[in-house]
Chains A and B, each alone.
Chain A
Amino acid sequence: MSSLSRDDVAKLAALARIEMTEEELVNLASQFGSILDAVARVQELDLEGVKATSHPQPIENIFREDQVQSSLTPEQALSGAPAQEDQRFRVPQILGEAE
């Protein structure tokens, strides 16, 4: 039986940038055991020597000529911005005051 503690979930939530409530952390931790048990079935088979598939098709790099093409105008690109200033996305402070 797999399990994940409330603190494990809190650490994952921080990595995923989601500020979860205490209730969410506890609920998710309690559900995780059965979910992990279900997905851990992938470990039941002997997979020695089996190649991994990351994608259903063979993918190759696709190149094109470096030509100027039409694209979104600045107004269009900024049309969904939560905040903007001087044709740029306005974002909250990224570096601390002292830096």
Chain B
Amino acid sequence: MIKKTAAQMSAALSSGEMTSVALTQSHLDRINEVDPKVKAFLHVDSENALAQAAKVDGERAAGKKLHPLAGIPLALKDVLAQEGVPTTAGSKILQGWKPPYDSTVVSKLKQAGVVILGKTNMDEFAMGSSTENSGYGPTFNPWDLSRTPGGSSGGSAAAVSAFEAPIAVGSDTGGSIRQPAALTGIVGVRPTYGAVSRYGLIAYSSSLDQAGPFGRTVLDTAMLHEVMAGHDPRDATSINAAVPKVVAAARSADVKGKKIGVIKQLQGSGYQTGVLARFNESLETLASLGAEIVEVDCPSFEFALAAYYLIAPSECSSNLARFDAMRYGLRTGDVDGASAESVMNATREAGFGREVKRRIILGTYALSSGYYDAYYGSAQKIRTLIIEDYKKAFTQADVLVSPTSPITAFKIGEKSEDPIAMYLADVATIPVNLAGICGMSLPAGLADEDGLPVGFQIMAPAMQDQRLYEVGGALEAALVSKWGGYLIDQVPALGGAK
């Protein structure tokens, strides 16, 4: 039952073939069985999940018209506030905090009747590409437990690829949905900036952050995307426009006559042989389906990583000032006579991990007078050039493509002592965030040299998210028929899957 797609589960629920309580229980059993090895979850909320499932079953029995995802279990990245449920963003500074309100994404999930199984592990405050920066220990890649699942949404990606949940929510500031999707052999989408409300999404870098869906198929991902997206008056950057018809696009899955632009700067040196081999095969597949492949030039992309690692730390140094030990979260050093400032200093020292401190200090430096123009100011100008590169490229192609990650899943500990090597994991995903457009990663096969999943990235202009699903859906259908099944069917069993 847990191996089905969310769309199949939805059909089985509406036909009465199974109940949401049974479906939810089998996922909770699976979590009990494999999560001690995978460690995707920080908090499993069995009681609320089963109660929600029972409620949906009752409504269905009473003949109420339900959303297609009603009663379907989901894993939620711990960066989103859920009322009364521990929410930490992977940080010790928020250990034990229970938000008094729901984020808009959670409200929408609840409205649709989705069953939230629990909160998933992540790099602290979404800063990282491996989930090793979590204050609560790493998550392990279901394809090879000695490797990372990528990050920062590594817990959500691992939960979906280990069949602990059919769908999951992540957030993507520099690639944090697409890169872990690539490394775990599933589908992940970063919607257009402003398409999904950031209300209740714990902020890392506000001009780049965006929540989005994970699924094992393009259609499942689209179904979740449509639930999450939409205008929200509580987020001033939320786009007031109709949600792109992504479910219909995933079903149409048509690339005939579409122009696919291959970005010259996002391939070649630094990209693993097996990654490039699977990427090129996917291009051939798209061409065989009637798409036209063209090459596009985006010269400023070479500077995207440098610009990102100034902009994101600068914004985070400001955003994380809210963790001041006064209103919520950790407070240490509050002894008799201690000043507010010394309590703040001691709390932030104790509550923040190494990478978070590194980025706060880097951002503080980049924004300090005397360095502002040279660092943050220049980075903002590079951002303009990247937007212009995309604009020009999108006059030559309907969508742009690249490998999602230059490498497959790396070993736990391999890059954790070398921040620059870790930052390079996001080299192909970051330009999308800087430009505020949308991107998808979907499985392109396994690399020959290590047998690990490779991700194929598709990018589309702002609010043209449906193009990702048209092209992604077509490529997926062709690859699945070639492989004789979904790539995720080849993931190791992890101990007696039912």
Contact = CB atoms under 8 A, between A and B. Distances in A.
A41 B430 CA distance: 16
Query: Chain A: interface secondary structure?
Result: loop
Interface stretch (B124-132, B281-289, B300-308): B300-308
Interface string A11-52: 011011111110010001001101100111111110100111
* Interface size range of chain B in the complex: 35 or more
A28 B352 CA distance: 14
Nearest to B337: A93
B381 interface: yes
B32 interface: no
A91 interface: yes
Contacts of A47: 378, 381-382
A64 B423 CA distance: 41
Interface in B408-431: 419-420, 423
Interface string A66-99: 0000001000110111110000010111101000
A77 to B, nearest CB: 7
B17 interface: no
A32 to B, nearest CB: 8
Nearest to B349: A19
B59 to A, nearest CB: 26
Interface residues of A, number: 51
A52 B340 contact: no
Contact of B382 (A16, A45, A54, A56): A45
Contact of A89 (B307, B326, B420): B326
Contact of A52 (B236, B380, B437): B380
Contacts of A91: 326, 340
Interface of A: 4, 9, 12-13, 15-21, 24, 28, 31-32, 34-35, 38-45, 47, 50-57, 59, 62, 64, 72, 76-77, 79-83, 89, 91-94, 96
Interface of B: 97-101, 193-194, 207, 233, 236-237, 239, 300, 303, 305-307, 309-310, 317, 321, 324-331, 334, 337-346, 348-349, 352, 354, 357-358, 360-362, 364-366, 368, 374-375, 377-385, 387, 419-420, 423, 434-437, 462
16 contacts: A17-B344, A40-B306, A41-B303, A42-B307, A42-B378, A52-B381, A55-B237, A56-B435, A57-B239, A57-B462, A80-B327, A91-B326, A91-B340, A93-B338, A93-B339, A93-B340
